[in-house]
Chain A
Amino acid sequence: MLGAGILKGLAETARNFLGSYVSKDRLTTVQFPEERAPRIEASRNFPFLVYDGTDPQEGLRCVSCFICEKECPPKCIFIEKSTDKKPDATGKPQFYPARFNIDVSVCMSCQICVEVCPFDAIKMDNAFELSATDRFDALLWNKQQLAKSNNYYHEIHPTEAAAVDAELAAARAKTAAAAAASAAAAAAKKLAAPPIPPTPPTNGDDIL
């Protein structure tokens, strides 16, 4: 019979129309500014710098090794090394970035900086509401804007952050053990005067 399919289709659309008023499950639209869908853990867009503890600048894990700057394909990272040293995340004295800039208008979100970073200092963010009225200065982020806490990192990428924390804890324990060993050795040397030459510090080379 001609038109039977049309009637079936009309019934289906009518069911959709009425059903959308009855059951909220049918409406998959998220009313964006008011409602937000939970972010997917693997989602990423631009890099940020992780800091430990409470002080965003003192706690930065970055040791300004320039690897990310060199590897960045669009060359959007600019780093200036400090002249003095401070203890890094594993407790060893290291340089720190005096300036760390990322031009997000140039960044292509490739995550290569994250992959090459040996200190787990740079990670991918998923904040996406980044509109600015100026496309030059407002999108050139400095160290202050880039620094985000480890807790924030745990919030957006929990699995990854837990793995990084475990790794860092192991490294910190190793450094502490090495420091303790060298201290013990020094004490032993002090006690039984000359014989053993001082062991060179074990450099914490698990990190590098």
Chain B
Amino acid sequence: MIVPDTVDQIFVLSKHWLLGYVPTALQPIVSAILSVAPVLVVFPLLFAITTVLERKGLGRIQNRYGPNRVGPYGFSQPIADGIKSLTKEDIVPRSADQVVHLLAPLLLVMAAFLAYAVLPIGRNMVLTNLNAGVLFFFAVGSMVELAVFMAGWSSRSKYSLLGAMRAVAQMISYEVPLVLASIVVIMASGSLSTVAIVNLQASYTSIWPHWFIFTPWGFTGFVLFMIAATAESNRSPFDLPEGESEIIAGYYIEYSGFKFALFFLGEYLGMFATSGLAITLFLGGWAAPFSFLTWIPSYIWFFAKLLALICVFIWIRGTLPRLRMDQLMGLAWKFMLPMTLLNIFTAGVWHFMPSGFTRWLVCTSLLIVPCLLLSRGLKQRKKLQIRTYRFAE
């Protein structure tokens, strides 16, 4: 298997080959640039592809064509969009805080890019193998809240402030279940390093992989993580901070031109990063789904999984209507939080029970029964009835 191995490591090998021509004193910085540059190119490109995929997918979900004019099947639409946003006038409100108004989109994009530092994109393909990688990811991810609030506050508009306040309330609420949902993986692998977590999942029993999603706590954790990730990246059905039908565009209402595009870029990059973390934690990172498919290069598997998750995000966006603020908070604190805590407990039980059918039965029932009870409790509380007005009629 010499050839596939070379193909798998082609980027790593070519980087080392290039570094051979660089004087030793410059090697650290050139190595860093050579590692970072592909990330700075590939993920914005993925953003461009995702925008057109999303528009076409949403169109098909609503029985429309979606963009189909620019280029073959409309796939050059991102170029047209880019030219449009670059040539548009950049309007800054006179009463806005000029400096903070400028810094907010930059900080958002920077925070989103920083998160990629710990994502293993392929075998031996990670920017930095921090031994607290997952912690670093969440720490950087919380910078997004700061950027969003900077944007909302500096614009000096009631809509943007409302949007920013919603965004901060929502993101802080969902950060809790997001982190708690990923703790089970850290418990199971005993490491905060993303590389170690993927390496642990990249082995096989006969043809089946050891992904964490194929355990009761892993599956629950994955579902909870994805719900929280949707809320973290401000996507429908949790897009209250934007809420274009109520507060027009939320925190970036006062942005135009390329700054507006930067907000979109930052949001999508954040979505890719959290999806990438979900892949790393639960879906085996760059590992192939079956042992006989390991000849396909690892980075292709990573991006295939990433695209699959993006499609799920688009599918969900095309399906669900926006939640109300109280429903959003109720879901976070009354359902997600208890479920994640239970999930941690279940992961502990799984760890200490002997493997076999009993372990599966106990752990599955430990999760399904509380889930049913919680959902019944959530449902019974609300009485749906025709609203009666005392004065309006």
Contact = CB atoms under 8 A, between A and B. Distances in A.
B320 A6 contact: yes
Interface string A1-42: 111001001101110110111000011110100000000000
A17 B61 contact: yes
A58 B63 CA distance: 52
A17 B57 contact: yes
Given A1-B375, A2-B371, A6-B320, A14 B315 contact: yes
Interface in B335-393: 335, 371-372, 374-375, 378-379
A29 B68 CA distance: 12
B318 interface: yes
Nearest to A23: B63
B200 to A, nearest CB: 30
Given A27-B64, A29-B65, A13 B318 contact: yes
B61 A13 contact: yes
B61 A16 contact: yes
A13 B379 contact: no
A28 B65 CA distance: 9
Contacts of B316: 10
B62 interface: yes
B310 to A, nearest CB: 15
Looking at A3, A14, A20, which has the most chain B CB atoms within 10 Å of its CB?
A20
A163 B289 CA distance: 74
Interface residues on B, range: 10 to 19
Interface in B304-339: 315-316, 318-320, 335
A16 B62 contact: yes
B321 to A, nearest CB: 9
A21 B66 CA distance: 13
Looking at B60, B315, B371, B374, which has the most chain A CB atoms within 10 Å of its CB?
B60
A3 B320 CA distance: 11
A161 B65 CA distance: 38
A12 B315 CA distance: 11
Given A1-B375, A17-B57, A6 B319 contact: yes
B208 to A, nearest CB: 26
B65 A10 contact: no
A31 B335 CA distance: 46
Contacts of A14: 315
Contacts of B63: 16, 19-20, 26-28
Interface residues on A, range: 10 to 19
A163 B163 CA distance: 61
B41 to A, nearest CB: 30
Contacts of A10: 315-316, 319
A1 B372 contact: yes
B60 A16 contact: yes
A2 B61 contact: no
Contact of B379 (A2, A17, A27, A28): A2
A58 to B, nearest CB: 46
Nearest to B375: A2
B378 A9 contact: no
B105 to A, nearest CB: 32
Nearest to A5: B320
Nearest to B372: A1
B379 A29 contact: no
A27 B59 CA distance: 10
B64 A13 contact: no
Looking at B61, B62, B65, B378, which has the most chain A CB atoms within 10 Å of its CB?
B61
A12 B61 CA distance: 9
A21 B60 contact: yes
Nearest to A10: B319
Contacts of A13: 61, 315, 318-319
Contacts of B60: 16-17, 20-21
Contacts of B372: 1-2
Contact of A2 (B64, B315, B335): B335
Contacts of A29: 64-65
Interface in A133-173: none
A16 B59 CA distance: 10
A47 B247 CA distance: 43
Contacts of A26: 63
Looking at A2, A21, A28, which has the most chain B CB atoms within 10 Å of its CB?
A2
A16 B318 CA distance: 10
Contacts of B378: 2
A27 B64 CA distance: 6
12 contacts: A1-B372, A1-B375, A2-B375, A12-B319, A13-B61, A13-B318, A13-B319, A16-B60, A17-B61, A20-B64, A27-B63, A31-B65
Given A13-B319, A20-B60, 16 more contacts: A1-B375, A2-B335, A2-B378, A6-B319, A9-B320, A13-B61, A14-B315, A16-B62, A17-B61, A17-B315, A17-B318, A19-B63, A20-B64, A27-B63, A27-B64, A31-B65
Q: Considering the complex of A and B, which 10 residue pairs feature the smallest CB-CB distances, nearest first?
A: A2-B375, A13-B319, A9-B319, A26-B63, A13-B61, A17-B60, A20-B60, A17-B61, A13-B318, A16-B61
Interface of B: 57, 60-65, 315-316, 318-320, 335, 371-372, 374-375, 378-379
